[in-house]
Amino acid sequence: MNIENQKQFIEKVNNINAGKNLKYTIFTMGCQLNENDSEKLCGMLEEMNYTKTDNISESDFIIFNTCCVRENAEDKLFGKLGEVKKIKEQKGTIIAICGCMMQEKHIVEKIKKSYPFVDILFGTHTMHKLPEDLYTVICNKTKIQDILDIDGEIIEGLPIKRNDNIKASVTIMNGCNNFCSYCIVPYVRGRERSRNPEDIINEIENLAKEGYKEITLLGQNVNSYKGNGNLGITKFSELLRAVNKIEGIERIRFISPHPKDFSDDVIEAIRDCEKVCKIIHLPLQSGNTEILKKMNRKYTKEQYLELVDKMKAKIPGLALSTDIIVGFPGETDENFEDTLDVVKKVNFEQVYMFIYSRRVGTPGDKMENQVPEPAKHVRFDKLKALVESQIDENNKKYVGTIQKVLVEGKSKTNENMLTGRTDTNKVVNFEGNENLIGNIINLKIISEHMWYLKGEVI
């Protein structure tokens, strides 16, 4: 897709805004894919002569990049829109909403009816058109709705302003074909579309040249990545091996794979590639075979456990993290026990826990036997207690060990401390010289706390 057209609009808005010292605020909800999209939105905005501020009351442009995976994001957006209305009244601020929620018709209708002051609505397939939409709004003083139902093409070459200068995310594919019955993503992000291998490798090589050390490859279902064969890359394992060869990059992570597609070649690539971190995110969702079937996950409890065993046997020292949903329709206390059982057996390094949230348009929303809210919360608390006790136990195992830590910067809570992460993604805080930032160093772990470890330079 040619973005030259948008570059011309960037230029036009840039000229209109010149010398005005305009500011923007961006609110990003949801996953790392959305964060990565926001980095591109920021890249376009900065080229249009806006500078970022966290103070919304001084903003000339406010943009919400939304998520619709769970209901709480909607509540957050509608709450914030009330606040923003007052700023617009005082300052004439331009307000835009984009991202996943904009692909849901009932949400767009609600915004148009209850929040008519919003200037620009655009979706996941028209993100790159922000410059054109903004130009139209500025020049014509109109409102714009730019949302497409068809899958957008992969857009290359957008400007990007990254949040970090050590770790970077690189989207390798958009969309999802799996239609898990609780999930809205396939409806709002469309079908799977993989980026060309040469574009991915080129982006990462440039990041390496800029001094980035850690790359996270992003996609809704990374292990069904399909390359066009350029650079000899047709599948995810080949992509991992190619990224592993890029000089300067020291760590590679990826999210999220689907257990049903976790083939042996991917396991072997993780084993062989020394830069690929030996912690794998393997979304479980439920430990009960009946519920997994209703979720359309295409694996059983036993198959998941067998996969974990195989991975642990092939990759020495492998750690795992996961996503779990509690309270999917029809889940009984007995079914939920299976989830607890898998958690006990696998001993995850980290578990992201979610309470099932009904999403309009998904099969799960239409299922009978929705679990009452109080029961969901009881299960959530039970799972949380188990997970925290496991994390506590696991943290103890770190004390006294030497860990390779990528130093990310100063600790946010203590100016005198530095902070970094182990290969297994544990936060380690320690005292050290600022010139260590950006390096992987050996630290001895001296104590453990629930959400971080304390280390010392050796």
Residue list 184-203, contact with ligand SF4 (CB under 6 A): 185-186
Structure tokens at 169: 């995310």
Strand, helix or coil for residue 28 = strand
220 is an interface residue for ligand SF4 by CB under 6 A: yes
Tell me which DSSP letter residue 135 carries: H
d(CA 327, CA 345): 21
Among 325, 342, 343, 387, binds ligand 5AD (CB under 6 A): 325
285 is an interface residue for ligand 5AD by CB under 6 A: yes
Q: Which does 356 bind (CB under 5 to 8 A by kind): ligand SF4, ligand 5AD, none?
A: ligand 5AD
Among 41, 176, 200, 280, binds ligand SF4 (CB under 6 A): 176
178 is an interface residue for ligand SF4 by CB under 6 A: yes
- Judged by CB, which is closer to ligand SF4: 178, or 339? 178
d(CA 100, CA 184): 9
221 is an interface residue for ligand SF4 by CB under 6 A: yes
Strand, helix or coil for residue 26 = strand
What DSSP string describes 294-329?
HTT----HHHHHHHHHHHHHHSTT-EEEEEEEE--T
Interacting span for ligand SF4 (CB under 6 A) from 59-67, 174-182, 239-247, 449-457: 174-182
Decide if 63 contacts 39 (C-beta within 8 A). Answer: no
Structure tokens at 304: 């998941």
Question: Taking Cα atoms as reference points, which of 334, 381, 385 lies closest to residue 355?
Answer: 381
d(CA 1, CA 7): 13
Q: Which does 359 bind (CB under 5 to 8 A by kind): ligand SF4, ligand 5AD, none?
A: ligand 5AD
Q: Which does 179 bind (CB under 5 to 8 A by kind): ligand 5AD, ligand SF4, none?
A: ligand SF4
Interacting span for ligand SF4 (CB under 6 A) from 100-108, 176-184, 369-377, 420-428: 176-184
183 is an interface residue for ligand SF4 by CB under 6 A: yes
Strand, helix or coil for residue 176 = coil
CA 270, 408, 25, 183 torsion: positive or negative? positive
d(CA 438, CA 405): 10
117 is an interface residue for ligand SF4 by CB under 6 A: no
Going by their DSSP bridges, the two strands 94-99 and 418-422 should be labelled as unpaired
Amino acid at 455: G
Tell me how far, at minimum, the Cβ of 414 lies from ligand SF4, in Å: 37
304 is an interface residue for ligand 5AD by CB under 6 A: no
Tell me which DSSP letter residue 54 carries: S
Kindly state the number of chain residues that form the binding site for ligand SF4, as judged by CB under 6 A.
Answer: 10
d(CA 368, CA 387): 29
281 is an interface residue for ligand 5AD by CB under 6 A: no
Strand, helix or coil for residue 171 = strand
Structure tokens at 108: 């767009």
Amino acid at 302: E
391 is an interface residue for ligand 5AD by CB under 6 A: no
125 is an interface residue for ligand 5AD by CB under 6 A: no
Q: Which does 186 bind (CB under 5 to 8 A by kind): ligand 5AD, ligand SF4, none?
A: ligand SF4
Tell me how far, at minimum, the Cβ of 258 lies from ligand 5AD, in Å: 10
Interacting span for ligand SF4 (CB under 6 A) from 45-53, 106-114, 173-181, 439-447: 173-181
Q: In the complex, which residues of this chain contact ligand 5AD (CB under 6 A)? A: 69-70, 182-183, 283, 285, 323, 325, 354, 356-357, 359
**Binding residues for ligand SF4, per CB under 6 A?**
176, 178-180, 183, 185-186, 220-221, 258
